[in-house]
């Protein structure tokens, strides 16, 4: 059978002007990635206000993420979109403020701790299976996966849903994404970051709601049984910098938990939804994955110990994040002049780390746009540059929650594939990028007991 070529966006052959770029970014940021970014390791241009470079070659990305990381701090525009909700937490801070938080938080996500959370992930997978089994007709999978991963994060970070109105919080997240989370004309015009953007003002009530709810959940835990539950919130309450003994202030804790909840559940849900979408269009691959899951699980839900026996399901997830990386583009500032691929990079230029194009690049992948989980067979991974596949970033700022995300995604995907067969039932979705890459208008599938 021919490989399935899933939908992508038409890349512009000519660079867009400032206003056209802004319009495109607000609608779908993938539509500003020029076609030559899929054939060249670096593309540069100017908006008239400043110079920019898009880097999508493994050598250049290694230089920025690792070898010369201090020269490329996170871009102020990206930070601005997040700061009102997550303050100067791990994701949004730099320098000494970042370093001590990373030292304190990395052990919270050590594999032993993440392993201890797996039983809650298994229960969530069971609940998701029950919800899908009760569905009457086609199901919109993005919504279902968001609900499943939100369920996990509520359990492990907020002592379950009983202290927490998940509907109210979910509505606040959506409002936040469409207000604060959209690039503004004021960013393109390079206006100072202390001037509030209109979206930021419109999103303030959503941020207040989210903060109030997370603060209440933290307080409920402080009052009840801290140190007893061995979950993410417990570990964060105890977290300290091993070098200095410094602990999180209530504000640090609030902002970091807030980031884990919003970023952690949306990205993982998208990886799952895209995986099921791709498998629904490749029944051969789905039969392989189903067989693998069924042999190990029979009728039960997956646990952490089952995952090593489901390598093809892990490969499918990795392939889905190659074609549709939940985080498709990152931006960095430049502190001191530098050179990349012989090109001059100046102080104050903006550098985009173009993960989406890296993952579909003609120089590095055979059939870059085709769905093929064999891309992640161990021999193929071994012969590839590690910087050719970067869904979680790399270097010192690599995603601290990657273990956690992979574990919950594999547990949920394996459980669902053992129980159901999925077929397409709605329009082919297009990838649309704002902060993350989402399928638009969603992924609608029919499912039957397998």
Binding track over 43-82 against ligand HEM, x by CB under 6 A: -------------------------------x--------
Q: Report the residue from 263, 301, 407, 443 that binds ligand HEM according to the rule CB under 6 A.
A: 263
Residue 361 in contact with residue 39, Cβ under 8 Å? Answer: yes
272 or 297, CB closer to ligand HEM? 272
Closest to 122 measured CA to CA, from 144, 146, 155: 155
Distance CA 267, CA 277 (A): 15
199 or 391, CB closer to ligand HEM? 391
Q: Report the residue from 58, 264, 429, 431 that binds ligand HEM according to the rule CB under 6 A.
A: 264
Q: Which phi and psi (to 5°) does residue 437 adopt?
A: -100, 110
> Where does 239-282 have alpha helices with state H?
250-280
Q: Is position 221 an interface residue for ligand HEM (rule: CB under 6 A)?
A: no
Give min distance, CB of 12 to ligand HEM, in A. 24
Residue 331 in contact with residue 74, Cβ under 8 Å? Answer: yes
Q: Report the residue from 125, 271, 296, 357 that binds ligand HEM according to the rule CB under 6 A.
A: 271
Q: Is position 275 an interface residue for ligand HEM (rule: CB under 6 A)?
A: no
293 or 406, CB closer to ligand HEM? 406
264 or 373, CB closer to ligand HEM? 264
> Where does 72-165 have alpha helices with state H?
76-86, 95-105, 111-133, 141-158
Q: Please name the helix (run of DSSP H) or strand (run of DSSP E) that holds residue 437, with its range, or none.
A: strand 437-440
316-345 binders of ligand HEM (CB under 6 A): 326-327, 330
Helix (H, G, I), strand (E, B) or coil at 415: helix
Q: Is position 267 an interface residue for ligand HEM (rule: CB under 6 A)?
A: yes
Binding track over 376-415 against ligand HEM, x by CB under 6 A: ---------------xxx---x-xxx--xx----------
Distance CA 65, CA 84 (A): 25
15 or 217, CB closer to ligand HEM? 217
Residue 433 in contact with residue 356, Cβ under 8 Å? Answer: yes
Q: Please name the helix (run of DSSP H) or strand (run of DSSP E) that holds residue 352, with its range, or none.
A: strand 350-354
Distance CA 157, CA 218 (A): 9
Residues contributing to the site for ligand HEM (CB under 6 A): 74, 90-91, 102, 259-260, 263-264, 267-268, 271, 326-327, 330, 391-393, 397, 399-401, 404-405
């Amino acid at each position: 059978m021919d490989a399935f070529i899933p939908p992508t966006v038409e890349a512009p052959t000519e660079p867009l002007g400032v206003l056209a770029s802004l319009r495109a970014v607000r609608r779908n940021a993938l539509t500003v990635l020029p076609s030559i970014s899929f054939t060249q390791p670096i593309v540069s241009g100017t908006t008239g206000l400043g110079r920019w470079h898009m880097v999508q070659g493994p050598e250049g990305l290694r230089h920025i993420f690792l070898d010369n990381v201090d020269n490329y701090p996170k871009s102020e525009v990206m930070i601005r979109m997040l700061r009102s909700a997550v303050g100067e937490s791990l994701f949004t801070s730099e320098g000494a403020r970042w370093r001590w938080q990373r030292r304190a938080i990395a052990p919270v996500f050590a594999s032993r701790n993440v392993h201890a959370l797996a039983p809650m992930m298994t229960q969530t997978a069971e609940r998701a299976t029950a919800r899908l089994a009760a569905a009457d007709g086609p199901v919109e999978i993005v919504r279902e996966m968001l609900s499943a991963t939100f369920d996990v994060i509520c359990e492990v970070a907020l002592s379950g849903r009983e202290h927490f109105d998940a509907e109210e919080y979910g509505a606040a997240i959506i409002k936040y994404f469409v207000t604060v989370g959209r690039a503004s004309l004021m960013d393109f015009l390079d206006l100072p970051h202390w001037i509030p953007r209109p979206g930021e003002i419109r999103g303030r009530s959503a941020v207040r709601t989210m903060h109030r709810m997370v603060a209440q959940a933290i307080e409920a835990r402080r009052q009840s049984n801290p140190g007893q539950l061995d979950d993410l919130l417990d570990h964060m309450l105890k977290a300290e910098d091993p070098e200095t003994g410094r602990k999180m202030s209530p504000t640090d804790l609030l902002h970091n938990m807030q980031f884990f909840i919003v970023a952690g559940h949306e990205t993982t849900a998208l990886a799952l939804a895209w995986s099921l979408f791709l498998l629904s269009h490749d029944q051969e691959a789905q039969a392989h994955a189903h067989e693998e899951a069924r042999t190990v699980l029979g009728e039960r839900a997956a646990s952490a110990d089952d995952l090593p026996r489901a390598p093809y399901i892990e490969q499918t997830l990795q392939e889905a994040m190659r074609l549709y990386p939940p985080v498709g583009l990152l931006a960095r500032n430049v502190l001191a002049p530098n050179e990349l691929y012989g090109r001059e990079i100046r102080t104050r230029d903006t550098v985009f780390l173009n993960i989406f194009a890296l993952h579909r690049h003609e120089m590095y992948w055979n059939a870059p746009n085709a769905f093929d989980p064999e891309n992640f067979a161990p021999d193929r991974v071994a012969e590839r540059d590690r910087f050719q596949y970067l869904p979680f970033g790399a270097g010192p700022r690599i995603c601290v929650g990657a273990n956690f995300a992979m574990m919950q995604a594999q547990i949920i995907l394996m459980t669902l594939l053992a129980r159901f067969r999925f077929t397409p039932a709605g329009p082919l979705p297009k990838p649309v990028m704002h902060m993350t890459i989402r399928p638009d208008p969603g992924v609608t599938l029919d499912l039957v007991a397998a």
